[in-house]
Structure 1
């Protein structure tokens, strides 16, 4: 079996090949156990030999177990010693899965007594002793013959020192393809050393790797020896930007260092004239990522004896630990929480409002990690981050093209800034009571309508959620390219509250705001960008119609574009940060023009007493993701795919529950690749990457919408059942589904618990129907039908009442929501109308119009079905009346709808709302 066959053997390992490696070892161990107990077939020994031969190409890309242990394992097999083979296989597989080899050097030894290996026998592999120093692996790509690789490894080991902060093991390969394979498969690799002169093709056949290269557009044979090393360095940084690359060359290093392409190389050495310098440089690169300036200073501050004369009694913890009544809080949290508290910004600490020291350095490190120009830490959550960005970038009268279904903080941001929202609609998924994302045609139509109305100059920003709560991910680069082709100075705000982890996945990073901005910036600086624009202009002519522009994939004029991209990131939602930890990421060529008002927005919204522990957790979360985020994210995706596989293929669970796939949540018209199922036969890296690269929308694989209505549960009741009875927590629900999320915290044991619980619930249903009457089953079926088919249509945004469109006039949809919001403060201007009152129908039929005085947001589904100043339509009323949820923000069940009194003014105008931006014929699929 070739390496390519192994890496593509099962679809569920597409996103996490290292888990396939662990599974292969467990399968080998199971076979070894059968051989040891004599329960296997007669040719089991031959099967084990073939399995080891199949695994060797993969194992060559990992430092552990290494050639010595693999040879020892094969020797046990050749000696026909099943007991010795089993115990050595068990030790290796256990060490791989547990990671014990990273700290215990005894794991690397070939012990004579394999039944009871001594724990005190220490090799020189990890520096002569068991080590708790952080461990990583360094990939070495060399032109040397394989017979010399052992010598190269021993030389790198010899130069290590006991005083080194970190310890690493070399992984040696001899080709471009093997190097790429190692980068994808081995998350322990954190640095790469390139010797010039290595081959391009692997000695092992890797067809699936070539398919992956093709998906990335990088499948050409690099025969130019001078270019191949820099090309590999560039590709490694594209796949895993956190990895350091060092180049060893015998050419003129000075000239090579001046090559712009060499900017992706951390340092260039003249061959190996300075092996110690190379070693120290490798460690320095890890140290740069390991440092946490604010957290380090906070720990140092906590160790100091300090007398506090400021207004923070909890600092140092004396009032807690000496208390007769609250000392249990001190016992629960421990002393460090209190020792690290201070309201001062001195003594090694810094000010979050105007950082100049360690907070600024921590933010700069985060900017480097996420590929941003600047990063701002926020301790009030991404709700505050969104309001900061909107306030900084928008002024009264500016128009914001904004997803109507985005988080409420965006809407409130418009109220605070005085910007006028022009709402665009996502495509509906009425059968699941949720929305998808906003089609690019809808966004372009909004911009073109505003242009036709002479108001494109007032359009300042396009504001979208990426990814949505339910996992819909935009083709961010395409959205920005096409919008910039219409208005080249547009600003983009991407709310990526749930998507911060995606930067650490080479598959998902291109869909992030910062990943797309980086790729788009590089493209706009290339000659190809001007050629593409001029070719399109020649084809479109001087005055193309809106219909032509809507049907054309537009490219911008790179000479006019001002690339301005903002991303908000709920670090606490997908990384190891404390709740409410958020970041604002900036990639803005004109940030200098808004920097002052941006800082004013920070002063407006940020607390003057930010939580020190929260800031420290943001610092530490960045460190973790730079050093192990790649592997953690791959595992989170693997967990999600395994949950899908278990739910959708289990013979009993699949009768009552189903995890939805891209084909269920994204209409075919938005999936050019045709990719529909994560676990469909023949799924491959190449197929996945085609969807991620080309489709208008794709799904975040870590977010699983599980239909529970077919089991007779609405989302809310099923969520409560899981929490109250089984201790399984989740967040978002809909009328007939729940959303499960995997993250870097989950393990396969969590999957096992979920599967066991779902099976228990399904078994209860099976037993109930088996023992019950036909009437009971009929009642169940009726309930399922009401949950799955008798669902309310999702209402469109109607329009703002003409009173709140005085600046806009007719023809477009934006409105003065701020004025409507504050009109509602005056009780004399408002009235209440019960939702089920007969007056509602009379008002709808003959007026006066019902105009919402506030935001009305049902949970679920969680989008605002009314905003201040919006005209209420029959569709909105029908939807609200069919809602079976109790939590509706902004709606008082006793008083009813809160309305702004408009009497009869402009009644006829509001009966004919402006042209909708809703895509046609997509109400239900």
Structure 2
């Protein structure tokens, strides 16, 4: 059986000891037929560490502190954590009472039984690459137990023998069905109250992603956001939030009765892209809202723009605010130095991640990560306590979790965690190289342009330290007179390529750990063909293509609590004909959202302006490629639901009373 190779590296200032250490341990590894991995032992001086860390096979680093000052050991460990946060770090020491909090394990330098040393190092690695839930699921399926419980398809037997739907069974494959099991199977634990394999899998996830606690969620980051906001907010609590956050955050504020303090994002009108909120505006909102409970930001955005989070989180914590960072698009961030620091590393209290967007989990599979709450002990001890309320958080999770979760989805979270823990650096190095190759091809071999952070952000964010996740490749085709929706359609119909999204003049490609060299070659060929056609098109109008997108409207006033507006009866008004004028100035009951990416043009409680209404009309009539959530109808005409004058008077009075 071929075994995957994993390197164990000793970092020592004593080369003679290093040689002896390797000479003792390598034969033990070579003769270990039962180990599922092949351990390769090496030693190096501290100066050689960086080269070994650049190799994905390096999985365990042992730091020898003999003859080394404590600050030098800390510096080496800092280098290790800065480059490869996911791998194990072991301290080899002669100290009687070593400082071991920052190490996975400690081994005595005087240990003469190298068999013990070898087994200890192997155990550390095998614990990291184990998948307790996925293994238990596989074991149960292969045991072939008879099903006398839900679900009704009984491991697929209701389909496999059917003359009408057996084709679907064959198409999906037997394991889709025989891993779809009931909570009656006790050996597979319970997502509602995990005590065994699911709990172990979540603990492994916390270690891998750098969290204090991690939780599996089987209904996406939309539900994850709702869980966190429900846990933190009560009616009337103020939330400082990017108005252009995902719709799930707005839904959570409707459910909680919280009062949003909306931050206006930067808007790149040229490319039709929402960017981050300027740092100065975030700081001003924190200062202007003493007693606010929570700050919510999205980092990175759908287009890959990342905040410089550390100063923002520090400012929020100093003011007593919890911080939730929506990292739905950034679950991969911890596993390559080019992508760090992550939100957790910057001090976020809660981070939600769509494990399925960039990693190897099934769709809807997400995680909630909880950070270190020590800052609250240093600043205050409010009525909710300074410690994380794990029991209360579990109840909030259970309120949103199905009692019949999909076990294959949970297993995919376990396996995706394992992959990033053991080969995250390697697969992301390949992914980032592919993204760079695509960008260079666009800039060197086509008439299009790849866009960087400066292009997407503009001058308003120039000093904010905004960075771009390189895996999100945005290409300006409008600069060559090409309509992005038309280009998207051609890529799909002529070349079999489906892009992530488009604006009026840009195409966005998501380069993931599943991207292959063949896919990159086909994309480069397709872009070259589009470029050649654009060059031969004598009627192209670059300036028109550059500026013909729908306008992104500015934020208007919030004149009712979102909860009050949403749960009002309201009235529906069509905008056709004279209806447009009747809608301007009214208070919206619903969230109006073009999807993707799910960023609202209008939220409940918001005053409708002419600019906002015209944008909604334009998106509805001109962007047939988008879903428009929240638009109602009167007869056959599109309409919006708004507060009646009487309801508006009550809602506005309620809001004034709350703000008084």
In the other structure, the counterpart of 1:246 is 90
| Farther-moved stretch of structure 1 (290-299 vs 131-140) | 131-140
For the 8 Å contact 2:491–2:497, the answer to whether it is kept is: yes
Match of 2:631 among 891, 894, 917: 891
In the other structure, the counterpart of 2:379 is none
In the other structure, the counterpart of 2:52 is 182
Cα distance between partner residues in 2 of 1:482 and 1:152:
48
- 1:163 equivalent to 2:34? Answer yes
Deviations 1:666-717 (A, max 9, x none): 2356444xxxxxxxxxxxxxxxxxxxxxx53111111111112234443333
In the other structure, the counterpart of 1:132 is 2
In the other structure, the counterpart of 1:578 is 362
- 1:665 equivalent to 2:410? Answer no
Cα distance between partner residues in 2 of 1:861 and 1:228:
47
Deviations 1:270-323 (A, max 9, x none): 245232222212211111111111111111111224222223122333222222
Match of 2:177 among 329, 335, 338: 338
Report the Cα offset of residue 596 of structure 1.
4.4
- 1:172 equivalent to 2:11? Answer no
- Correspondences of 1:557-706 after superposition (within 5 Å): 565-589=349-373, 592=387, 594-650=389-445, 653=446, 655=447, 657-668=448-459, 670-672=461-463, 695-706=464-475
Secondary structure of residue in 2 paired with 1:638? helix
Cα distance between partner residues in 1 of 2:23 and 2:394:
53
For the 8 Å contact 2:271–2:506, the answer to whether it is kept is: yes
Cα distance between partner residues in 1 of 2:179 and 2:648:
61
Deviations 1:798-819 (A, max 9, x none): 0123xx2xxxxxxxxxxx0111
Report the Cα offset of residue 238 of structure 1.
3.7
Match of 1:732 among 489, 492, 501: 501
For the 8 Å contact 1:234–1:264, the answer to whether it is kept is: no
Report the Cα offset of residue 662 of structure 1.
1.7
Change (3 A) 1:797 1:420: same
Deviations 1:10-39 (A, max 9, x none): xxxxxxxxxxxxxxxxxxxxxxxxxxxxxx
In the other structure, the counterpart of 2:282 is 443
- 1:780 equivalent to 2:540? Answer yes
Report the Cα offset of residue 839 of structure 1.
4.7
Report the Cα offset of residue 192 of structure 1.
1.8
- Correspondences of 1:814-853 after superposition (within 5 Å): 816-823=561-568, 826=569, 829-835=570-576, 837-841=577-581, 844=584, 849-853=585-589
In the other structure, the counterpart of 2:642 is 900
Change (3 A) 1:574 1:792: closer
For the 8 Å contact 2:264–2:554, the answer to whether it is kept is: yes
Change (3 A) 1:791 1:734: closer
Report the Cα offset of residue 227 of structure 1.
4.3
Secondary structure of residue in 2 paired with 1:577? coil
Cα distance between partner residues in 2 of 1:475 and 1:734:
26
Deviations 1:378-404 (A, max 9, x none): 111111111111112111111111111
In the other structure, the counterpart of 1:810 is none
Secondary structure of residue in 1 paired with 2:7? strand
Cα distance between partner residues in 2 of 1:905 and 1:579:
40
Cα distance between partner residues in 2 of 1:594 and 1:226:
36
Secondary structure of residue in 1 paired with 2:224? helix
Cα distance between partner residues in 2 of 1:724 and 1:623:
37
Change (3 A) 1:592 1:904: closer
Secondary structure of residue in 2 paired with 1:397? coil
For the 8 Å contact 1:572–1:578, the answer to whether it is kept is: yes
Change (3 A) 1:708 1:162: same
Report the Cα offset of residue 891 of structure 1.
2.1
Deviations 1:240-292 (A, max 9, x none): 2322233434x3x323x2x25x6325222224523222221221111111111
- 1:504 equivalent to 2:335? Answer yes
Q: Which has the larger radius of gyration?
A: 1
Secondary structure of residue in 2 paired with 1:516? coil
Secondary structure of residue in 2 paired with 1:254? coil
In the other structure, the counterpart of 1:491 is 322
- 1:193 equivalent to 2:193? Answer no
Cα distance between partner residues in 2 of 1:754 and 1:864:
31
Cα distance between partner residues in 1 of 2:21 and 2:215:
44
Cα distance between partner residues in 2 of 1:906 and 1:297:
56
Deviations 1:6-65 (A, max 9, x none): xxxxxxxxxxxxxxxxxxxxxxxxxxxxxxxxxxxxxxxxxxxxxxxxxxxxxxxxxxxx
For the 8 Å contact 2:475–2:506, the answer to whether it is kept is: yes
In the other structure, the counterpart of 1:215 is none
Change (3 A) 1:723 1:906: closer
Change (3 A) 1:245 1:792: closer
Change (3 A) 1:701 1:471: same
Report the Cα offset of residue 860 of structure 1.
5.9
Change (3 A) 1:357 1:226: closer
In the other structure, the counterpart of 1:797 is 555
Report the Cα offset of residue 473 of structure 1.
0.4
Cα distance between partner residues in 1 of 2:48 and 2:219:
45
Cα distance between partner residues in 2 of 1:391 and 1:340:
31
Deviations 1:344-376 (A, max 9, x none): 343411111111111111111111111111111
Cα distance between partner residues in 1 of 2:524 and 2:13:
49
Report the Cα offset of residue 729 of structure 1.
1.6
For the 8 Å contact 1:434–1:861, the answer to whether it is kept is: no
- Correspondences of 1:233-632 after superposition (within 5 Å): 233-249=77-93, 251=94, 253-255=95-97, 257=98, 259=99, 263-264=102-103, 266-271=105-110, 273-450=112-289, 456-457=290-291, 459-485=292-318, 487=319, 489-510=320-341, 512-517=342-347, 565-589=349-373, 592=387, 594-632=389-427
Report the Cα offset of residue 881 of structure 1.
4.5
| Farther-moved stretch of structure 1 (366-375 vs 851-860) | 851-860
Cα distance between partner residues in 1 of 2:323 and 2:37:
41
Secondary structure of residue in 1 paired with 2:590? coil
Cα distance between partner residues in 2 of 1:320 and 1:792:
48
Report the Cα offset of residue 416 of structure 1.
1.1
Deviations 1:493-512 (A, max 9, x none): 111000010011223231x2
For the 8 Å contact 1:666–1:698, the answer to whether it is kept is: no
Report the Cα offset of residue 340 of structure 1.
2.5
Cα distance between partner residues in 2 of 1:139 and 1:903:
72
Secondary structure of residue in 1 paired with 2:128? helix
In the other structure, the counterpart of 1:102 is none
Secondary structure of residue in 2 paired with 1:513? coil
Cα distance between partner residues in 2 of 1:248 and 1:395:
49
For the 8 Å contact 2:134–2:415, the answer to whether it is kept is: yes
Cα distance between partner residues in 1 of 2:418 and 2:582:
61
For the 8 Å contact 1:733–1:860, the answer to whether it is kept is: no
Unaligned runs of 5+ in 1: 1-130, 199-223, 451-455, 518-563, 673-694, 770-776, 805-815, 915-925
Cα distance between partner residues in 2 of 1:164 and 1:593:
39
Change (3 A) 1:395 1:151: closer
Unaligned runs of 5+ in 2: 374-384
- Correspondences of 1:715-730 after superposition (within 5 Å): 715-730=484-499
